[in-house]
Amino acid sequence: MAISRYRWQIVLIAVAIAVPVAGWGWQQWQQQRALSAARQALTAGNFESCLQQLAPLENSQTLQPLLNNCRWQRSQQLAAAGQYPQALQLVLLIPTSDRQAPKAQAAAQQWSERVRTEAEQQFLAGNWSAAQQLLKSLPEGTPLTPTASALLAQWQQQWQQDSQAIAQAQAALSQARWWDVDRALLALSDHPYWQPQAQSLRQQAQQSIQQLAQQRPNAAAVAEDGTAIAETVGEAELEPRFRQYLAQGLPDYEAWQRACQDLGGQVIDRGPESFCSRDRPS
């Protein structure tokens, strides 16, 4: 017997109600199943599994306390293994409203400082690429002052400046421009990686200057262009007269010239250097 139109309407209404209810029931069952598995993983200390179970449900407000607990516990595991950037990624997800927030914020501060300290150690040891990688590994929102990006920019500028100063000093040494070695190194910072190299370059330049002076045994000084200054007037003699002329209002260079002349000398200019010599330069 054919089903009447009225009965068909009832069937359709029943189906329309049953399908959403069944879907909601299936979703609730899946959620309870994931929740149960997450709690078991948390109890067993398998915090990574706990996070995996809750990942599809992380937008559920009712599961936030459990999720943040798993995040906190897993972040501690990672930090204990020295994986501070990964630990920070998790702990920074814990909102300030959660009960774990005070501990999470304190840990984030401590772990970020450890990464910064390790990066600084690498930087000072001359491992610039390793220092860069450490700073870049810190997630957004890491509580550092100055920030990781600011530190990176500051250290990069210092590294470039120091490496350039060393390169210029090395070039001056190889080209026998020994006086330029020390000038190039004036731009160098007190970075412990570069300072031993700078000291070595200074010593080599000084040795070359001394060898040049030995080749001119009658010279009291050797100018930057390699010429000999026969007899120079010492600063101990020049200084009192120089001060007298300064007190009279003469400019520095003129006061020095007058002091040199008073002592029977003449000013010999050699590039950036000047000498008060009692004899003609050779």
Whether the predicted pLDDT of 224 surpasses 60: no
Q: In this predicted model, what pLDDT tens digit does every residue of 25-57 receive, in sequence order?
A: 445 556 777 777 778 888 888 888 888 888 877
Of residues 212 and 175, the one with the higher pLDDT is: 175
Q: 214 pLDDT band (50/70/90 cuts)?
A: low
The Cα–Cα gap between 66 and 48 comes to 13
Q: 280 pLDDT band (50/70/90 cuts)?
A: low
68 burial level (CB within 10 Å; 0-12, 13-18, 19+): buried
What value does the mean pLDDT of the chain take?
81
Q: 23 pLDDT band (50/70/90 cuts)?
A: very low
Of residues 159 and 10, the one with the higher pLDDT is: 159
Residue percentage of the chain with pLDDT more than 70: 78
Whether the predicted pLDDT of 181 surpasses 50: yes
Amino acid making up residue 161: Q
Whether the predicted pLDDT of 217 surpasses 80: no
pLDDT at 156: 96
SS3 labels along 218-276: CCCEECCCCCEECCECCHHHHHHHHHHHHHCCCCHHHHHHHHHHHCCCEEEEECCEEEE
Task: Check if the beta carbon of residue 142 is closer than 8 Å to that of residue 109.
Answer: no
